[in-house]
Amino acid sequence: MNWGLTFFILSLQQALLVQSDKVIRVTPGVEAHLVFLRGLENRDDIKIDFWKEPGHLFQPVDIQVSEEDLIILSSLLKSDGIEFKVQIDDVQKLIKEELETRGARAGSWHSQYHKLNEIHSKLYDVQDYHGDMASIIEIGRSHEGKAMRAIEIKGKYHYNKPVFFIECGIHAREWISPATCMYIIDEMTQKYGNDPSVRALLDKMDFIILPVFNVDGYEYTWTNNRMWRKNRRKHPNWCYGVDLNRNWGHGWGGAGASSRDCDSTYRGSTAFSEVETKNVRDFLKRLDDNKRLKGFIDFHAYSQMWFIPWGYTSRDTPDHHEQMRVAKVAANAIKRTYGTRFKYGSSAALLYAASGGVEDWTYGKLGVKYSFSVELRDTGRHGFLLPPDQIIPTGEETFEGLKALVKKMKI
């Protein structure tokens, strides 16, 4: 493959779409600031993209904006007495640096980000090398007809063995999420024979891992717009996409989910309006019919937080104390690895309310007590554009958190 030509084409495509955009950080100090920030997406005079949405007072809000629109936005912020700082000075520069790792000969497979076809090819390699414990599952087809491929990884057999389902990449631009899933897959299959902690993990539970949920959107981030979030279904008004993590049927349509189809958090016309969410819903239901589904994680980026349900309300779940107990175990294990600090609690309490999320559905509808959503590195220095040299450390600490959590699960 001609990596030089590929890099040139990708760089040109991305440069045309993101021309020196900046990411600014605002920290609202009074309720009026929150109200103002929440209204920015509805304005017609500027175009912005929330990387971290307005949630609570004194909680950072990250906003991507073009240099041109920043002139208007900064004036609006100033008139409302809202201070801001530039968090990322040049988004395009970070995208370029990501792409420059393509085709690099040095390092392992996990030292760079990979396109969808490369990820799926890697899954087949894992199945070929570890056929005694790994097998590919096609969960369904996307809106554009792409395969949604997962891999099942099994340790020691026992009847009606519990299953833990992990999904990554439901939001297309969060590249560190699929990369982390792929790292965990390799760790499980390569170390089962000689690492007691991995053997204990897989002998307790089987794992099914879906490394790229939003296959259409993820591919689109490589070919057209690195910052794309949703799937790729076209709406009658020529806007595209539904936020697949606002499309689930528990608490659907509430806070943190937009009814406007051009918005990045558009919830869809109904719960499960999208074929991708239907596919995973039906697969998880089949697992639940056998009462085998005992754990669930939806990996995201960024913020370094381990979320328990609920996402759509600040109300505690009936299993709040148990969910907090194991989330704390995971956060502590992550910290012991590289010192990375994770907060834990519900997203409604720690970040912002987000209705129609998958972990609320797996807990609320299927009764999976150990249902979580995890925001990986970092806290905003790079945001969605986490450098490739952080893929392996992120994978290492996340896998340590997963092993610790499963060990303490009462199943």
Counting beta carbons within 10 angstroms of the beta carbon of residue 81, is it exposed (0 to 12), middle (13 to 18) or buried (19 or more)? Answer: exposed
Which of 210, 242, 247 has its CA nearest to residue 228? 242
Instruction: State the helix-helix crossing angle for 116-129 and 176-191, rounded to 10 degrees.
Output: 10
Q: 24-44 burial, b if ≥16 CB within 10 A, otherwise e?
A: bbbebeeeebbebbbebbeee
**Starting at the edge strand that comes first in sequence, how are the strands of the sheet with 206-210 ordered?**
134-141, 147-153, 206-210, 163-168, 293-301, 370-376, 305-308, 343-346
DSSP E strand stretches across 257-355: 293-301, 305-308, 343-346
Q: How far is CA 76 from the centre of its chain?
A: 31
CA terminus-to-terminus distance, the chain? 48
Q: How far is CA 69 from the centre of its chain?
A: 28
Q: What is the spatial distance between Cα 356 and Cα 358, in angstroms, rounded to a whole number?
A: 7
Please state whether the peptide bond connecting residue 124 to the residue before it is cis, i.e. omega within 30 degrees of 0.
no
Tokens of 355: 């209705």
Residue 249, classed as helix, strand or coil, is coil
- 29 φ/ψ angles, rounded to the nearest 5 degrees: -110, -15
Tokens of 170: 């439901």
Residue with tokens 């896998």: 399
Catalytic (active-site) positions: 375
Residues 178 and 166 sit within 8 Å (Cβ to Cβ): no
CA distances from 181 to 9, 175, 178 (A): 28, 10, 5
